[in-house]
Amino acid sequence: MTDLDAIRDVYARIECDLLVVGDSIITDRHHASSGNYEETDPQNQIGGIIPAYPLSGWLRHGMESVVQKRGGTACHPGEANANFRKTDVYDRDLDAGYHEKGACVDTPAHDDDGCVIFDLFGGFDGVPGTLLRRPIRFSPVRSNVQYERGHAEGHYRRLNRNVVSRNPEDNREPLRNTEVDAVANLDGCWQLSFRDPKPAFLGLVAEAITFLDDHNTDFMHQLGGSRNFGGGIVDCELINPLYEERELKRTFNRANGPTADMEEKDDQWTESYRPEIENALADRLHSDHA
């Protein structure tokens, strides 16, 4: 049996028809075009990087929801002593399933551990979290995509939005034009690494990904911007951590289904590993709130 403590890297499959992350998509369009870049040309083969920040916030919110659903409270993502513009909103969060960031660390009831969210994300008193969230590199050319390295197929687009006059005599004269960066038809892997792997951490990642998939059209659990316009609806699943690299790659090969070995690993994961990590998470939440 694979040792759960030895699983350092897990991959979430992320599929999203339209992802808008403001101006923070980093593209290689200047390299890819060798000076002939036409932003409206559908043939341009621009790849880029989706930074980890929006992905991390999205996953963290899913994890917070799982902790709260199980009766616990989660570290608030903002420092308690920060100068919030909306103090009343922060205070309201503290009444609704959150504790002040790092408040759990001061509790002498259990050793120097914070709550499970603190362990994963850290960020207080210079403590790093154990969960390393990487950016996703994307490319429109599927044969270039290295899924096993946390890459994705994705198509960079620049979208234009016009706000036009409502007066009939103006004939829809544009009042304002905005451009947003978007990735269309994203399908790939998001690599998550544990610096200090534990079954409870794996349990929380697995449950959060299931939760986010079940709630993917909830405004609060969409990813990035343009949520009212269908942006950021993510189908996600944890790729079976028991898979070897070639099996992970095969998941993305539309011509081939799973092998008998992969199906056996899926059964093992569902029947014995998943219950084990869920129990580890339950124990951890129990001790966090004892």
Q: Which residues bind Zn ion (CB under 5 A)?
A: 75, 104, 114-115, 118
Residue 199 CB, nearest distance to Zn ion (Å)?
A: 20
Of 73 and 191, nearer to Zn ion (C-beta) is 73
User: Exposed, middle or buried: residue 193 (CB in 10 Å: 0-12, 13-18, 19+)?
Assistant: middle
Residue 134 CB, nearest distance to Zn ion (Å)?
A: 24
Residue 75 CB, nearest distance to Zn ion (Å)?
A: 3
Residue 154 CB, nearest distance to Zn ion (Å)?
A: 34
Tell how far CA 34 is from the center of its chain. 32
Could you tell me which residues come within 8 angstroms of residue 57 by beta carbon, excluding any fewer than 6 positions away? Answer: 77
Where b means 16+ CB within 10 Å and e means fewer, 223-248 reads bbbbbeeebbbbebbbbbbbbeeebb
Of 16 and 75, nearer to Zn ion (C-beta) is 75
Q: Which position has the token pair 């009939």?
A: 168
Of 10 and 104, nearer to Zn ion (C-beta) is 104
DSSP letters, 58-106, are HHHHHHHHHHHHTT--EE-SS-TTS--S-HHHHHHHHHTTEE-TTGGGG
- Residue 179: in which H helix or E strand, if any? strand 174-194
Of 122 and 231, nearer to Zn ion (C-beta) is 122
Residue 114 CB, nearest distance to Zn ion (Å)?
A: 5
Of 27 and 130, nearer to Zn ion (C-beta) is 130
Residue 155 CB, nearest distance to Zn ion (Å)?
A: 39
Instruction: Find the helix packing angle between 199-214 and 274-288, rounded to 10°.
Output: 100
